[in-house]
Every structure is written in C-alpha cells, then in structure tokens.
A = this chain, B = another copy of it.
C-alpha cells in the first residue's frame, strides 16, 4: 500500500465506480452490505440513512462500499433515464449505535498482510473513500450529519464535509491520526480550518484530541448542540422538512456557491499525497493502536479517543 502513488490511487478508484448503476434512493431498506438503512420521507425528497456497522461503525470495506454505492447513485450523469423518482433534496446521516456515529478507517486495510484482500483491492477501497467524501461537496443533494456518538478519524473527515452537522449530548468529534503517524488528509484538515480557523484547527488536529458536543458547537465544528437525542432529532426533522419543500434549483445553486469557499482539488490531492508519503511511518504504529483498542472495539481507549493528554503518554509504543 505505501508504495501507492496518487496516480495509481485514482486509477484504482475508477474501476469500482461501476457499482453506481443501482438506484438505492428509490426504496426503503438496506442494500449492499447492510451498513446503511434507508428511510424515505416526504415522497423521497428526504432520506434518513442509519449507519450500522459493528461496535464502532468502522469505516471498513463494507461501509465504504455501501457509501460509495449510495453517493455514486446520486451523480446526475449516473441517474438512469428510467428512474421513477427525482433524487432526494436532503440526506441525513444518523446512527442508532449509542457510541459511534461513524468511526475511523479500518486500520487492518492499511497493514500489509492483515486482510485477505489484494493490494489492488485495498488501494481501491482507499481511493473510493477519498472520492466518496469529495462527492459530499459536489453532489446537488444537501447532506446533514446528525451525530450523537463518536465521529472520529474517517468519521470526522466525513462529518466536516457534510453541508451541516447537528450534535446530541453523546457526540464526540476529533482526530486521532497524528497519534498514529498520519493526518486527517481526506478533507478533515481543509474543511476544519475553514470552520475553526488555522490556530484552533492546529490545536485539535496536531494534538490528536477529541471534544464533546457543546464545545464543538461553541467553536463552529458543528452547527449546533442539543441537550437530548429527542431535541436533536426534532430540530433536524423540522429543518429537513423545510428544505424538502424548497425549490431544488435554488438549493443546488446556493450549495454550489457556498462550496466555492472549499479547498480546490489540487489542495485535496496534495493532502492525500502526504497521507501516502507518511504511510511507511504510520504502518508500524498501527498494530499497537489495534492492541490498545482490543482490535477496534468500543473499549475505554477507543471511547476515550485520546482525549486525555496522558493517554498518548501511557500508550507506549504507539508514538
């Protein structure tokens, strides 16, 4: 994996995008690997996607592939002429996992020999994670993150690229990448500096820390924090309903204009190139992280998400 160049990476991604021929947004229920359950609302103008993938909603081959399938199906040029319904105006991502909204990347995919997949397959999954997160900026659909659990690692990269994010009392946002030798390069850095400013983004990203909902709302990491899951859901439902009855063209045009403030593709590519460059330093640190988290379970270390400054110090061998 760590010999992969940017060119090879994006070549790999193309081969998987053929998955997009289905129209998952036209029906309720799960699809593919069953990590995303769709509930259609208001004649399908709103979709609520429930993320469910084991104890930490790991961003692994299953969740990654389902997410790619879903978002690719919304690319205007992929929508078949026989589609019965227009694509949704609004998509909400939430999870009934009490601990995690969306977790970090499957670290085993990064360690050579830890999976049965070939290098081409792990490369394709990584490339698709990058390409899929970028779709959040360019698709005409409005994406809302309704988080009431951890959004860390890949989960945070995904969160900050949604159009909006609303948090409940159990929400935790943050990055652990620097602590394992990498960086939040798949959008996490470029979108966070635009939310918090460079100095506050530096404080959290460099130190690999995570924070709770209210602090995140106070500094603009999420739009707003609510005191209970019920209030959070009610507010998101009211907002999405309002959006769903507004004209699609105006919603799309406004989103496109807002997104002009985002990073350009060159900057995104540069960050992904840095991730690839750092892989050789990162890979030796990953087994220790897997050990500390009991192989990616919602144990105390994973849930603490390196929030306490001493967690890094105690994790000998991790750094």
Contacts and interface: CB of A to CB of B under 8 A. Distances in A.
Interface of A: 142, 162-165, 177-185, 189-191, 193-195, 197-203, 205-208, 220, 222-223, 238-239, 241-243, 245-247, 249-251, 253-263, 267, 270-271, 274-275, 277-278, 281-282, 285, 309, 312-313, 319
Contact of A253 (B183, B199, B220, B254): B183
A312 B257 CA distance: 23
A281 B247 contact: yes
Contact of A200 (B220, B239, B245): B220
A54 B176 CA distance: 43
Q: How many copies does the complex hold?
A: 3
Given A198-B259, A245-B313, A223 B203 contact: yes
A255 to B, nearest CB: 7
Nearest to A238: B309
Nearest to A175: B254
Contact of A206 (B185, B201, B251): B251
A199 B178 contact: no
A36 to B, nearest CB: 22
Secondary structure of the A contact surface, majority rule: helix
Contact of A194 (B197, B223, B251): B197
A21 to B, nearest CB: 29
Contacts of A205: 254, 258
19 contacts: A163-B199, A163-B206, A177-B254, A178-B250, A178-B251, A178-B254, A179-B250, A182-B250, A190-B261, A194-B197, A194-B198, A195-B197, A199-B220, A205-B254, A205-B258, A207-B242, A207-B243, A247-B319, A253-B278
B274 A256 contact: yes
A207 B250 contact: no
Contacts of A255: 202, 206
B198 A258 contact: yes
A242 B198 contact: no
A245 B312 contact: yes
Contact of A281 (B241, B250, B270): B250
Nearest to A240: B207
